[in-house]
Structure 1
Amino acid sequence: MTKLATILIVEDDERIRNYIKTVLTSCGYSVLETGNAKTALSMTASHSPDLMLLDLGLPDRDGQEILKELRQWTKMPVIVISARGLERDKVLALDNGADDYITKPFGTEELLARIRAALRHGKLRQGGEKTVYSGNGLCVDTERRLVTVDGQNVHLTQIEYKIVTLLCQNAGKVLTHDFMIREVWGPFSNCDTQLLRVNMANIRRKIEKDPTMPEYILTEIGVGYRMIEMD
């Protein structure tokens, strides 16, 4: 079987680690594994895995510290897998550089889908940004600054367009409210989450068939927003 990618599992619970390893190897992934932070950092430097699955509750260091340290020298996608389900833990992990966050217990299909999305996003970061994003009838052409739904032009304001393109460039990844505000309005803006929500509501009215049941831009309650995976 062709190896799809190399994934480093950083999980101190051996039972969970073995379960994830079995799932990944059966799907064709190469797997590295460890139960502590020190070895995880060493293996990342020496083996250059394509993606890391990181538990926050490691015995030697907190996973949030590992995230911050990793982001100083690698763009490798990191998916946090943790029993910490509080919104503040998710937001902190994403702000510290995690590409995604899965709360235990989780399903096999959810895990594999998140891994595929994170790997695609990682390849885009290495290969440069795309100019056309499409999925489920939505098409965003950043070179022509054109947004269409089922072939019909959608007229967005400048801010709305910036929000949509930011989400497309990070399709499949959760973007926190604070990150989106910094990227769209700038780091010194006084804009708040409510203004972001107002713009998001306007965007959904323009691109969604039913804004109350969005197909394209999904809400991660208390955390931020996620664009569906795009081609």
Structure 2
Amino acid sequence: MKILVADDDAQILRALRITLRARGYQVVVATDGVEAIAQAAAHKPDLYLIDLGMPRLDGIGLITSLRGWTQAPILVVSGRTGSGDKVDALDAGADDYVTKPFDLDELLARLRALARRSAGPRADEPVVTFGGVTVDLALKVVTRAGAGAVHLTPTEWQVLEILVRHPGRLVTREQILTEIWGTQHATSSGYLRLYLSQLRKKLEPDPAAPRHLLTEAGMGYRFVPDGGLDPARGRDPGDVAAGTA
């Protein structure tokens, strides 16, 4: 696997290059966003490690540029710890976010997870339908009757995929947060409120009264397919209104 590492910190760049090469990865490096674009075009990496605070073109600009022509996984490795920076990076097209200083074993585990996600589609992946929406898990395409393809950000797709793979079952907030953002964000429920709200706007017939992407008060979320659990009758006692995130 070929990885492009873009970071203006020479010490981190050198350490990552040595560590990744020792584990069998091919490594291409860049010290700013403009150089990273040139290296990406020349080498076609399978995965990207990107810092946000780079000269000439910052990490957000680089991610946006890359997403214009590649869907290769992007892992942000940044010293910026604010939730706004993380949301901006994920919405721009990043797949995961690790803050500096980072634990090397965790970073390598994130890389392996991203590599597994980016593997080719399996022939046995199902197609899920609900409320006029079709989710093709193999092709990672969402369409809506009468509207065609629905654009989802990478993170919106991850949240939706987790839910539709567990039809009718409660998926806790901690499960979703851990799978997408890692254990350090297992209590950051604000992320999910944002992404569930966006998914409902794009996929529910009436986002204010959702029937398929439901909130279970104080616990998590539940995906209800067509002909499945009746959200008006089948949720656990004490649940709040389905539209509450």
Give the TM-score normalised by the residue count of structure 2.
Answer: 0.59
Tell me, what secondary structure is at the counterpart of 1:9?
A: strand
* Structure 1, unpaired ranges of 5+: 134-141, 148-153, 205-231
- Summarize the Cα distance change of 1:62–1:196 in structure 2 as closer, same or farther, 3 Å threshold: farther
Checking the alignment, whether the CA contact within 8 Å between 2:2 and 2:45 is kept in structure 1 is yes
What do residues 118-159 of structure 1 show as CA deviations (whole Å, max 9, x unaligned)? 1111125x66783499xxxxxxxx9xx885xxxxxx853xxx
Taking the aligned partners of 1:77 and 1:42, their CA distance within structure 2 comes to 18
Q: Is the 8 A contact 1:11 1:54 kept in 2?
A: yes
Percent identity of paired positions between Structure 1 and Structure 2: 33
In our comparison, the structure showing a higher alpha carbon Rg is 2
2:180 to 166, 173, 187: 173
* 1:130 aligned onto 2:133: no
Q: In structure 1, the residue corresponding to 2:36 is in which secondary structure?
A: helix
Partner of 1:138: none
Matched, 1:25 2:21: yes
Q: Secondary structure at the match of 2:97?
A: strand
Aligned match of 2:219 in 184, 201, 221?
201
- 1:189 aligned residue (203, 207, 212): 207
- Listed as ranges, the gaps of 5+ residues in structure 2 are 128-136, 138-160, 183-190, 223-245
Match of 1:151 in 2: none
Residues 87 and 26 (structure 1), Cα distance of their counterparts in 2 relative to 1, 3 Å cut:
same
Letter in 1 for 2:52: L
Give deviations 1:160-180, integer Å, cap 9, x for gaps.
68x99xx6xxx9434943334
Return the alpha-carbon distance in structure 1 between the equivalents of residues 63 and 218 of structure 2: 29
Following the alignment from structure 1 to structure 2, what is the Cα–Cα distance between the partners of residues 89 and 48? 26
Any idea what SS the aligned residue of 2:114 has?
A: helix
The number of residues matched between the two structures is 173
- Specify which structure has the bigger relative contact order, considering alpha-carbon pairs within 8 angstroms and separated by 6 or more residues: 1
Q: Distance in 2 between matches of 1:183 and 1:100?
A: 19
- Over residues 189-225 of structure 1, what are the superposed CA-to-partner deviations in whole Å (9 max), with x where a residue is unaligned? 3479xx9764671559xxxxxxxxxxxxxxxxxxxxx
Name the Cα RMSD after superposition.
3.7
Q: CA deviation at 1:8?
A: 0.4
Q: Which amino acid aligns with 1:62?
A: D
